Structure 1
């Protein structure tokens, strides 16, 4: 049992906070109210969710008229499907759902299980679910506090029309360097100033001043109180900027007569009250008491305070991504068509031919594939499917055929097929003497293309998840994969692919034609529907490789492993 008094100076407002940690709920609430000027509608400490789950609290808050922003610290979920449904409801009502999820490391997952009694879930799967349902995921308490403060500043959010172009004004050249790095790391942009703005700034700055973004006001803005407002005005009216940020030390512990933050904040408050462009404030360092004479007037004018350039830019990135998600979701294709439940399949690893028939039943292209039980039959089948061909050992106990010499490629004649048939038997038997071989699969060799892996794995929390990445024999070495929660739409499939590090390989490099992205996205959608249709009986599915041909040439599954419960 954890108990705590309601903090003094409780500030009412539009933010609801749910936390599995009683101690952190107080920490977060105090920081929001006293250091950010953010009021709260609810503080819920739900502990191990023995009575009411996090998802149920969130659902209630989405429907609460007093709540405009919902934030949570969560160690583990009890009802993940309900979580995604609540997130969609929150999106429809334009209520941001901001979550700090603990349990990303193996050690913290063990701690979460013992502390809260619920599964923490694989971090990459949780992130995929958050991303897919429009939940704003943050990765630290400081990022949580600054993101809440930003989203809860109604005037700022109303003025923000989208975009990632950030203008920066600081009185420190060193801070300008650091914030430029933070902008790039956050995936934002710091474009140069327009020629018109540069011309204005040359009349304001001293001769040694540098009229570029980030804008260093130099020591002159400390010495002459007229300079700072003119610099800020020029930055606000620059057409190259979507958001203007101002570096002000709101947590400077020195007496007011020894610091400039109050003067700069007064000028910024005046400018923000009249500006149509969103203005945000960030301090250089984190921690310490924030001057209420700085933070509260600025917030009232629509200029929220954030602490530290890194967390400020992360919060702005979160706002940009949420804005982009809302915009794309409004224009996205509908994938809510009914998916019928598949008939029961035999348990275990499906034979190759059966696995390919399953794929074909969902309109997933496969290479012509037949099973041979002796060398003569293999030669005959090779003639039927067309040369050149590949031979692969067929055995439920050999998932990775090439590891035991069970694959022969590029066979161009019946003689080569017969020799390869015997060679595979000899090599597999040498590696695994007791293994039962059901036969040798004969496949037509697929034309060259980009080799991908596409499959389904089962997460203990979210159930079946789609895994897509660059495949072939190097899949475990490269580990370049992205995850989605089925069913997926065409747009979600494309977003999945674009998150891969190797995404440029599919767009065409050094004169190579681009890959058939439409066919690849279609196949991802079909696999996601297969996963939903098979439901609990599907343990795992791997299509590796799925060969993606050049534009308009389609895709083809070359190998598949399907395990049924």
Structure 2
């Protein structure tokens, strides 16, 4: 689809300039680095630039010289005209480097919309506006105003920030890291991350995908594409804006906890994306993937010439979820053959401070053969007798031959610079700390799990959607957004068990309801204005007879009126008092990027304080529902600890999948929450005790 965008024969530069320092000049000079490329400068005021004949308008170019790609660098107000002229000239690929569009205000946003409309009209693909441009090392294309051409490599990089592009390119040039493609996304007016994920998927020169994103354009499609791509190529993304606060007020526990970053974490996990916490991490992980085979397990061997470094690395492995390998006895004996008696022959292997390159090689050979070792981290501290470049040379040769991943931390500064240069010459990263090496090894291990994961599809069940539709339409017709206990019937429509309950508008009705249900009972206030009933005294528990109901009713009304005098009271709900179960919460908050974001955690009144919750983007499969339940820290309390009978976990999974389908079926539900869902012992099911949902206004 984008073949000629990245491998054009003819490129037009609209806004090409003679003036040194102008973007139009920089783009032209970068394109001229490829001698096989025909370049057509466009400038209405000159006839040639840098010895290349110049046309005054793209429309003046003869048909037999029609460009495969046009790079536009004119002022923003002129860009829509240039885009339209490209369309009329039959050009299908354009890059708009110019800034001053939606990022600059109302007028710029109008210019951008005009460009999008013209691209739709003429069937053009556009990168940008407001971008650095693109680089393709396989074709030799540098259609950017970057200060340097990227080295050739197997990492494809896309970035929503032009500054991140220039920083990364400068870093890569210094240490010799190569890229297959380098794309500045800009405002993503037409082409966005989803288009390039698919491009990278089918690009034979790309083995690793890295990205800096500030947001995604089509969240559900992003997950779908990334799930497929990540099975064959690792995707490493650093996402900025982690602490942003949603602009829409939320009323539920789910809404309070489900910030934008929680949605990205859930989406990335489901999509098989490795999330980096910083640009540095993204680059660290990308380099590891670019040169290393994947480990078959999480057992790591450490080889060091300094005991302290080895201990720190072992600690970092443990904290990352990696295991320190237990060697076969044959490995220990082989290490003893050449290492000095004072060395440590168990993991971490300490070859001692005066170790030569040959001793490092012997240790590597011995450990690599051990079937219990899945990956190796090589550490070096520079002693006065340490042959740093010699050791680096030998280690690099072993890394290139190895079928197991080997990562290096040659620690220090000036004393290890020569060794680091040797490693870089082989394309091998040297991590400045053992923690960074461990984090990169952990990323390799995690991706092996991603490749091997099952990708189950969500099950679509047959529910009474007509009843649910009539109920939601009726709720919407009441001209209020939030609906509570009176909404239990919507759960029944999706076969979710609900507690036996009655709504009572008066005290006598409440007593009658309690008699019908049978004591003990619970009484809850019913009000469209009260989100958290406990906070205003709106719940009474364990009412055992009519006198309890009367006292509870009167005191509850008094408390609610004192705390919220203007709240509209629709009555009370009387429910059967249940005991012996575990309280959990199932919620949903509709994320603007990804859609329904499901939440699970321990329920009751403390969920916002504990914040021990998990998230997933609906629709979810049974495996994803299981992962939501098992990934909270307090999962052992549900699964049963110290001889306790486990809760009915399967009923939780079933309820999660049903809620997933409900919120997919009805996109007008913005927030949804069952709190608590009372989960009985294994095999006894679960019961919804309270529900609340918010409709789009």
TM-score band, normalised by shorter chain:
0.7 to 0.9
1:551 maps to 2:682: yes
Structure 2 matches for 1:180-219, cutoff 5 A? 180-219=314-353
- Larger RCO: 1 or 2 (CA < 8 Å, sep 6+): 1
1:473 maps to 2:600: no
Structure 2 partner of 1:167: 301
Distance 1:285 1:541, change over 3 A: farther
Do the aligned partners of 2:392 and 2:419 also contact (CA within 8 Å) in 1? no
Distance 1:350 1:138, change over 3 A: closer
The Cα shift of 1:475 comes to 1.3
* 2:243 pairs with one of 102, 105, 111: 105
Structure 1 partner of 2:183: 44
Distance 1:285 1:550, change over 3 A: farther
Secondary structure of 2:453 counterpart: helix
Q: Distance in 2 between matches of 1:108 and 1:405?
A: 29
Q: Once the two structures are superposed, what CA deviation does each residue of 1:323-364 show, in whole Å capped at 9, x if it has no partner?
A: 2122122xx432164897962532335654542111121121
Q: Distance in 2 between matches of 1:82 and 1:140?
A: 25
Q: Distance in 2 between matches of 1:99 and 1:456?
A: 25
Structure 2 matches for 1:18-417, cutoff 5 A? 18-32=158-172, 34-35=174-175, 38-92=177-231, 94-106=232-244, 122-153=260-291, 156-157=292-293, 160-222=294-356, 225-248=357-380, 260-284=387-411, 294-295=422-423, 298-299=426-427, 305-329=430-454, 332-335=455-458, 337=460, 343=469, 344-345=472-473, 346-347=475-476, 348=480, 352=484, 354-417=486-549
Distance 1:488 1:145, change over 3 A: same
Structure 2 residue runs of 5 or longer lacking an equivalent are 1-98, 100-130, 133-143, 248-258
Structure 2 partner of 1:560: 691
Q: Distance in 2 between matches of 1:106 and 1:412?
A: 48
Secondary structure of 1:464 counterpart: strand
1:437 maps to 2:569: yes
1:511 maps to 2:638: no
The Cα shift of 1:472 comes to 0.6
Structure 1 residue runs of 5 or longer lacking an equivalent are 110-120
Do the aligned partners of 1:248 and 1:265 also contact (CA within 8 Å) in 2? no
Q: Which moved more, 1:510-519 or 1:19-28?
A: 19-28
Q: Distance in 2 between matches of 1:309 and 1:435?
A: 58
Q: Which moved more, 1:169-178 or 1:191-200?
A: 191-200
The Cα shift of 1:138 comes to 0.6
Do the aligned partners of 1:353 and 1:369 also contact (CA within 8 Å) in 2? no
Distance 1:198 1:63, change over 3 A: closer
Q: Distance in 1 between matches of 2:246 and 2:277?
A: 13
Alignment: residue pair count: 535
The Cα shift of 1:478 comes to 0.8
Distance 1:57 1:226, change over 3 A: closer
Q: Once the two structures are superposed, what CA deviation does each residue of 1:58-98 show, in whole Å capped at 9, x if it has no partner?
A: 33332333322211111222222232122023135x02221
Secondary structure of 1:522 counterpart: helix
Secondary structure of 2:242 counterpart: coil
Q: Distance in 2 between matches of 1:202 and 1:386?
A: 77
Q: Distance in 2 between matches of 1:14 and 1:209?
A: 39
The Cα shift of 1:276 comes to 3.6
TM-score, scaled relative to structure 1: 0.86
Q: Distance in 1 between matches of 2:657 and 2:595?
A: 17
Do the aligned partners of 2:460 and 2:661 also contact (CA within 8 Å) in 1? no
Do the aligned partners of 2:332 and 2:345 also contact (CA within 8 Å) in 1? yes
Structure 1 partner of 2:619: 487
Secondary structure of 2:236 counterpart: strand
Do the aligned partners of 2:602 and 2:613 also contact (CA within 8 Å) in 1? yes
The Cα shift of 1:386 comes to 2.5
Secondary structure of 2:191 counterpart: coil
Do the aligned partners of 2:230 and 2:450 also contact (CA within 8 Å) in 1? no
Do the aligned partners of 1:487 and 1:528 also contact (CA within 8 Å) in 2? yes
TM-score, scaled relative to structure 2: 0.71
Q: Distance in 1 between matches of 2:417 and 2:262?
A: 36
Distance 1:30 1:190, change over 3 A: farther
Do the aligned partners of 1:367 and 1:556 also contact (CA within 8 Å) in 2? yes
Q: Distance in 1 between matches of 2:295 and 2:313?
A: 22
Structure 1 partner of 2:60: none
The Cα shift of 1:398 comes to 1.5
The Cα shift of 1:134 comes to 0.7
Do the aligned partners of 1:286 and 1:308 also contact (CA within 8 Å) in 2? no
Q: Distance in 2 between matches of 1:7 and 1:511?
A: 66
Q: Which moved more, 1:446-455 or 1:166-175?
A: 446-455
Structure 2 partner of 1:117: none
Aligned CA-pair RMSD: 2.9
Secondary structure of 2:606 counterpart: helix
Q: Once the two structures are superposed, what CA deviation does each residue of 1:208-242 show, in whole Å capped at 9, x if it has no partner?
A: 323221222112414xx542222222221223221
Do the aligned partners of 2:497 and 2:686 also contact (CA within 8 Å) in 1? yes
Structure 2 partner of 1:112: none
The Cα shift of 1:170 comes to 1.2
Do the aligned partners of 1:268 and 1:298 also contact (CA within 8 Å) in 2? no
Distance 1:283 1:504, change over 3 A: farther
Do the aligned partners of 1:15 and 1:67 also contact (CA within 8 Å) in 2? yes
The Cα shift of 1:507 comes to 2.1
